Amino acid sequence: MASPAFTDAVVKAMKTLYPPELADSAWDNTGLLLDQALLPEGTEPKQGGGAVLLTNDLTAAVVDEALEKQVNIIVSYHPVIFRPLKSLSNQDPMQKHLLRLIASRIAVYCPHTAVDAARGGLNDWLCDIILDSETKAAERKVVQPISRPLSESLQGLGYGRTMKLQGPMPLTRILKNLSRGLGDQQHMSVALPHPRKDIKDVNISTVSVCAGSGSSVLKDTDAELIVTGEMDHHSALRYTQMGQTVVTVFHSNSERQYLTQVLKPELEQMLSQSSRAEGKVLVSQADRDPFETIDISSLDS
């Protein structure tokens, strides 16, 4: 276990990349949610490089991985503490994870909606992977700007993005681009507009995106295509009756590849500029969406 200086450097870098004031503090819980336990007085930390593990969710498998790799800090996109804690018990899965991490002096930082709102954050990345060399965005804007006062450099930022494309883009090509950008994901849910037409005949000129669950953020969008992680039945039905198309890719699948493609290299770059931050940035291999698509016909009777 390296010096706490490495953990401090990771936290500082995350706050620079994704300013905490961008998080939706009305309901979200972000920041350093689990600090690194102090060593007994007079005990010196082991010398050597540190390690940070990036994950979308903190699960038992991810905790096992963190312990095996002896990391100093976990950056978990989703908050590990969301509701107030009245106790810490091994009976609750998340509390058990926290107790194991405390015992091993592993900190946890959770940025969540600060990443969603940031310039170059999750929603901008979702826009980027939809586009290709043939079709660019003529215009991109925030769907739900942050209404509270922000620093001058952050003004205008917020949640969700809407793009106006330079020209109509076939929905089939958008789906293939999404698949590639999301790590060659092979299955997506598509709700086609009413009156229903063949998917090959659907062309898109405007797109709204929201990582995770987009029903609330995108509730007033009039974009022809809505891309999100998950959406409730009635919202999807409403959109299709209004002539819009909805694509869902599973909640965390709309977020996970961002860790590898964007956060890892950006965090490595930030840490390389600090003499106190010698160490590795790792992406969890155990992190995965809880849902998977099963072909029932392939199951044994």
Annotated binding site: 78, 116, 251, 255
Do the bridges between strand 31-34 and strand 107-110 make them parallel or antiparallel, or are there none, so unpaired?
A: antiparallel
Helices H / strands E in the chain, number of each? 9, 11
Tell me which DSSP letter residue 289 carries. Answer: -
Tell me which DSSP letter residue 154 carries. Answer: G
CA distance 73 to 267: 13
CA distance 6 to 12: 10
Is 193 exposed, middle or buried, given 0-12, 13-18 or 19+ CB atoms closer than 10 A?
middle
Total residues found in the chain within this entry: 301
Q: Angle, nearest 10°, between helix axes 171-181 and 122-130?
A: 130
Helix residue ranges per DSSP H, 55-158:
60-69, 93-103, 113-117, 122-130
Which residue ranges make up the annotated binding site for a divalent metal cation? 78, 116, 251, 255
Which residues, 6 or more positions from 204, have their beta carbon under 8 angstroms from its beta carbon? 165, 168, 169, 170, 171, 174, 224, 225, 245
* Distance (Å) of CA 172 to CA 66, 130, 204, 289: 39, 11, 10, 24
Single-letter amino acid, residue 294: I
Half-sphere exposure of 92 (CA within 13 A, CB side): 12
**Residue 250, both tokens:** 């599973």
CA distance 246 to 228: 8
